[in-house]
Structure 1
Amino acid sequence: MNRITVGKKQQTKKTRFSQLLAFFNFIKNNFDDDLKNPFNTPMMKKLFKAKTAFHWDIIEKETIDEVIFRTTKLRNRLILELMARGGMRISEVLKLMPSDIIHRRLTLRDLKSGREYEFIFIPNRIADRLKDYIRQKDIQPHQRIFPICYEAAREMVAKAGDVVGIHLRPHDLRLQAATYASRSGVPIEIVSKVILRHSNLSTTERYLGKITDVEAMKWIDTLYA
């Protein structure tokens, strides 16, 4: 079982396990009552159980705005804004170089998706501040704009959250960028392909989480006011 599922996702392993469990049960029930199903054991069921779905708590835009506003160091503020306004992953922000920037478009390379490159579009004001920062620091075209490690960036984000009394992770900022766009009426296809750059809509739908009753009533009032 391990051999045929090595390197597979947990859900795929669960599917293979369920198929083999059903197969041996069929043999036992129809041909051999004495057959012991090797998959019908607590250990096997635990080993190949489906992964529990995980849902991130979505932080309100006003809270993220306060986090950014109260971050006074320009470098840190830019890192936060690129994630919260551009939907960038922290790893993508840390790899960014001046040569990747053309006006408001950022080119991302060495991607986890396997693609050669992807594009990010950011607001004008952030693009202008980013270019000013590059000039002030005299960062060369092929130097990293933010030459810090992942752990240092993660710690910076956590401390920024502490200032306003929340537990903040880099992924919360990317998630909020997508959620705010979706709640503002941006088509889910744009959220998926442009902001999050997901390969399929189902992944994006899991990101966006559930609509609360308050949000549902707000949208109904907006549509039919």
Structure 2
Amino acid sequence: MEFLNRLTNGHKQVTKRNRYSTLSSFYNFTIATALPNLQNPCCTPILKKIFKRPSCPQWKILDKESVDEIIFRTLNTRNRIMLELMARGGMRIGEVLKITPDDIADNKLIIRRPKSGKESEVVFIPKKLMAKLNEYVATFGINSSERIFPISYTAAWMIVKKAGKIIEVDLRPHDLRRHAATYASRSGTPLEIVSKIILRHADLSTTQRYLGKVNDSEAVRWIENLHG
């Protein structure tokens, strides 16, 4: 118990659970291969309760009308384009802040050194949004290697929070990325496209957690759209 506390102290529940599971698996392996009479000290009711698997968070899913209103009522051009890159392109806020004119290629953006650890990734965005981005770069004479949005992460976060207040919602940057995936999925886009192209996830299970649950009113609307 004391060893587990030292091993997991100060970490999130998911990390605590993973380390507990690893230690428990080690004991199970030892019992199965060498010491059949050994008792697994991890298999006690109290430890199972302390290191239980954390429940999946219920993320807020914004509908298209709400996101459109947030974007259309954001009058600052820079802020509006940043919001659209997250909501239409599924980009992470850190990716938006890193892009330069050199990263623009036709109707796509090249993400250098992405979160996945790859050398680069590609983000496809709508032609209208790409036109706005190119116009913004030209208007402000941004050099090819300069960041298009040279602001801090905190400043960008506050832009998103302020935009959410327009319609009185507690908006976070990842809510917009999640909207891009959810809207695409519920509009009939194949899950593989949502996962590999929009979210750029390594596996579909991660994407499925993003898409959230469908409430009763949404279910009725989709059934009516399909069969009404």
Superposition TM-score, scaled by structure 1 size: 0.85
Residue in 2 aligned with 1:98? 101
Aligned to 2:132, the other structure's residue is in SS state helix
Q: Is residue 2:177 matched to residue 1:171? A: no
User: Which amino acid counterpart does residue 21 of structure 2 have in structure 1?
Assistant: T
Return the match for 1:64 from 64, 67, 80.
67
User: Which amino acid counterpart does residue 15 of structure 1 have in structure 2?
Assistant: S
In structure 2, stretches of 5+ residues that fail to align are none
Return the match for 1:48 from 48, 51, 58.
51
Q: Is residue 2:19 matched to residue 1:16? A: no
Aligned CA distance change for structure 1 residues 36 and 79 (closer, same or farther; 3 Å): closer
* Backbone CA RMSD of aligned residues: 3.0
**Which string of whole-angstrom CA distances, capped at 9 and with x for unpartnered residues, describes residues 2-35 of structure 1?**
6999x99555334335546778999xxx958xx7
Report the more deviating stretch, 173-182 or 46-55. Answer: 46-55
Aligned-pair identity in percent equals 48
Aligned to 1:210, the other structure's residue is in SS state coil
User: Which amino acid counterpart does residue 13 of structure 1 have in structure 2?
Assistant: R
Q: Give, in angstroms, the shift of residue 125 of structure 1.
A: 1.0
Aligned CA distance change for structure 1 residues 20 and 138 (closer, same or farther; 3 Å): same
Aligned to 1:65, the other structure's residue is in SS state helix
Q: Give, in angstroms, the shift of residue 154 of structure 1.
A: 0.1
- Whether the 8 Å CA contact 2:90–2:198 is kept in 1: the answer is yes
Aligned CA distance change for structure 1 residues 163 and 36 (closer, same or farther; 3 Å): closer
Residue in 2 aligned with 1:84? 87
- Whether the 8 Å CA contact 1:20–1:39 is kept in 2: the answer is no
CA distance in 1, matches of 2:87, 2:40: 55
- Residues 1-225 of structure 1: pairs in structure 2 closer than 5 A: 9-19=15-25, 37=41, 40=44, 42=46, 44-45=47-48, 48-225=51-228
Aligned CA distance change for structure 1 residues 133 and 23 (closer, same or farther; 3 Å): closer
Report the more deviating stretch, 212-221 or 178-187. Answer: 212-221
CA distance in 2, matches of 1:160, 1:218: 27
- Whether the 8 Å CA contact 1:98–1:140 is kept in 2: the answer is yes
Aligned CA distance change for structure 1 residues 124 and 40 (closer, same or farther; 3 Å): same
The alignment covers a number of residue pairs equal to: 218
Q: Give, in angstroms, the shift of residue 175 of structure 1.
A: 0.5
